[in-house]
Amino acid sequence: MINFSYTIWILLLPFLMFLLLGLAGHKLKPKLSGLLGTVGLGVITVLSYITAYKYFFTSEKIDNAYQKITAFNTVWLQFTDKLHIDIGILLDPISVMMLIVVTTVSLMVHIYSIGYMKGERGYERFFSFLSLFSFSMLGLVLATNIFQMYIFWELVGVSSFLLIGFYYQKPSAVRASKKAFIVTRFADLGFLIGILILSFNTKTFDFISLTNPAGASIIQGGKIAFLGLSVMTWSMILVFMGGVGKSAMFPFHIWLPDAMEGPTPVSALIHAATMVVAGVYLVARMFPIYYFSAPVALNVVAYVGGFSSLFAAIIACTQTDIKRVLAYSTMSQIGYMMLALGVSGYGGHEGLGYMASMFHLFTHALFKSLLFLASGAIIHAVHSNYMTDMGGLRKYLPITHMTFLVACLTISGIPPFSGFFSKDEILAAALDHNKFLFFVEWAVAGITAFYMFRIYFSIFWGKETQYHHTPHEAPAIMTIPLIILAIGAAVSGFLPFNRLVTSDGRAFETEINLAVAIPSVLIGLLGIGIAYVMYRKESAIPDKLAATFKYSYKWAYNKFYIDEVYLFVTKKIIFRYISEPVAWFDRHIVDGTMNAIANLTQNVSFRIREFQSGQLQKYGFVFVTGAIMLAILFIYLWK
């Protein structure tokens, strides 16, 4: 047995760094605090890579399967003998893979931020929040039990809130951070209820016993409970609701595009690579329960994922803010991952979808953070988020251009870049289990290629825009992370995920299914081709198309009015018919009673206080009268 107890430092270091930078950061020089945060994260990254190496290549396999290892565990809250909440570290293929994803992207973002955030107010605050986020995200992926996961789940929500609202002088940023927090918090309500139902029925929080396919918890809860579905199904759907909120799936996706108000490195780290895939990770973590005792819930996962990916891809085609396009693209890609989990089976080749989902999570983290960081470099150079202000930038930003191109090719699924492999596995898994969803995803692959190359051509080719001052390439500290991530995005497709990260821990063989690969590459190329025709040079085709499909274009441009629906439901219905009467009741009945009591007391005391007049002789009179009365009482009543 290998000793993994040092992994506790992976959790503790970022937390200590958060405390150090948060409490003493303002006393340090900004540069030093940024450097400290980055070095701290570098150490964690090294530790994570060592852990991954030891886990995947030297740890003992039992029955050819990777084991779940509890590296550290301690009882945190003891309620009764049986009911206690633990904090610990669980190592298994997906958590180790997530360690790599989180630390790698986080390190790149840290390095990039040193350049990007230079001269900003609150530099050290930014780095302390980044450390807090890294701590919470690592705690989430390493959680040994569902309650620990929930705690860290909320912590990542808080760090996301803090970082979206980083520019707190900007009202739009404040609004966006509130929106993100409230929407995800609302979804987490479902998660919490789901956890309670689940653990009430299975009598455990622990992931190892919860997800053991042969264990008792899988079998229980099969009986019909409510609306024709079993207790287990309901609890898993509710748990998934938390994942829907965090991963910005339909219908809780409305916070993600607004979250782009945060600094771009934050969007790359939190809203592209790590936090938003927490929902996928959650479903993957609980996968055996979904598969064995709540297949209906798994179907829900698949359809929500499929619908969200299509929905987001369509919206992404019409947006002009590049960060928003990327946000919708993130949502669409996460939809892919959800769908892959939803159509997956358990064990061996059946578990292809599971493996594909994790694979896509990995490659997506690399290429999407690359896209965001590159767009950060572009925004840095142009001082605008809007595509309409850009064009012909390839001459000015050669490194950003190349890395962006690599990322676009990757996301479009063009071989030999990594996105091709992971997307291919997802499509293959979908084809095996659900033909309808396969066609949806196949179409989405084409739309993805189209909108990605739409922004690529509009930014780097297209019309020659006159700039106020010549855009210049970002400094090396920002381009080096771009290059590293581009290399990662290009070659990570060759990682043998089928041997490392599988549903039951056992390796299985995969091959490129040509019947899937060829159509998917073709539709990707088709999307690129259309984008080339429309956006390579300035042309009237996009406007004409928009005019032809006036109404559908308008719907998509306005994000299908989902935000307005939310506003209508909350403001016009909930606020008006529930909140306002309740508020009235509170103000008039509850407060009224309290005020009445207070007024009465006050009036009475105003009357009473006149007895204390300061007139000595009045006191004396009262005293003498009292004494006489007592004397009379004693004389006549004392027998």
Partner 1 sequence: MNYGIPIQYFLVLATIMFFAGVYGFLTRRNLITILMSVELILNSVNINFLAFNRYLYPHQLEGMFFSLFVIAVAASEAAVAIAIIINIYRRFTTINVEDVDEMKF
CA 401 to chain centroid, in Å, comes to 28
- H/E segment holding residue 78: strand 69-78
- The residue with tokens 């919470």 is 136
Q: How far apart are CA 201 and CA 578, in angstroms?
A: 33
Q: How far apart are CA 89 and CA 145, in angstroms?
A: 9
Closer CB to partner 1, residue 533 or residue 627? 627
- H/E segment holding residue 87: strand 84-91
Residue from 2, 522, 624, 630 binding partner 1 (CB under 8 A) = 624
Stretch 451-490: interaction string toward partner 1, x if CB under 8 A: ----------------------------------------
Of 426, 218, 449, 232, which Cα lies nearest the Cα of 342? 426
Closer CB to partner 1, residue 551 or residue 611? 611
Closer CB to partner 1, residue 570 or residue 601? 601
Residue from 596, 620, 631, 633 binding partner 1 (CB under 8 A) = 620
Question: CB under 8 A: which stretch of 219-227, 410-418, 444-452, 609-617 binds partner 1?
Answer: 609-617
Q: At what angle do helices 278-285 and 231-246 cross, to 10 degrees?
A: 160
Q: How far apart are CA 164 and CA 170, in angstroms?
A: 11
Strands 84-91 and 224-226: unpaired
3-state class of 91 per DSSP?
strand
Structure tokens at 72: 């550290």
CB of 609 to partner 1, least distance (A): 4
Strand pairing partners for 74? Answer: 87
* Length of the chain as a residue count: 639
Closer CB to partner 1, residue 616 or residue 635? 616
Residue from 79, 81, 617, 635 binding partner 1 (CB under 8 A) = 617
CB of 594 to partner 1, least distance (A): 25
Q: How far apart are CA 157 and CA 162, in angstroms?
A: 9
Per CB under 8 A, 613 contacts partner 1:
yes
Residue from 511, 614, 636, 638 binding partner 1 (CB under 8 A) = 614
Residue from 551, 609, 638, 639 binding partner 1 (CB under 8 A) = 609
Per CB under 8 A, 5 contacts partner 1:
no
Closer CB to partner 1, residue 214 or residue 635? 635
Residues binding partner 1: number (CB under 8 A): 11
Q: Which residues of 584-594 are buried (b: 16+ CB within 10 A; e: fewer)?
A: eeeeeeeeeee
Per CB under 8 A, 635 contacts partner 1:
no
Structure tokens at 76: 């945190």
CB of 630 to partner 1, least distance (A): 15
CB of 613 to partner 1, least distance (A): 6
Question: CB under 8 A: which stretch of 154-162, 163-171, 482-490, 613-621 binds partner 1?
Answer: 613-621
Residue from 186, 603, 621, 633 binding partner 1 (CB under 8 A) = 621
**14-73: contacts with partner 1 (CB under 8 A):** none
Question: CB under 8 A: which stretch of 278-286, 301-309, 546-554, 604-612 binds partner 1?
Answer: 604-612
Q: How far apart are CA 336 and CA 304, in angstroms?
A: 10
Residue from 616, 635, 637, 638 binding partner 1 (CB under 8 A) = 616
Q: How far apart are CA 559 and CA 308, in angstroms?
A: 12
Closer CB to partner 1, residue 558 or residue 613? 613
Closer CB to partner 1, residue 494 or residue 619? 619
Residue from 58, 169, 602, 612 binding partner 1 (CB under 8 A) = 612
Closer CB to partner 1, residue 119 or residue 614? 614
Of 159, 140, 15, 18, which Cα lies nearest the Cα of 87? 140
CA 277 to chain centroid, in Å, comes to 6
Of 495, 387, 514, which Cα lies nearest the Cα of 451? 387
Q: Which residues bind partner 1 (CB under 8 A)?
A: 609-610, 612-617, 620-621, 624
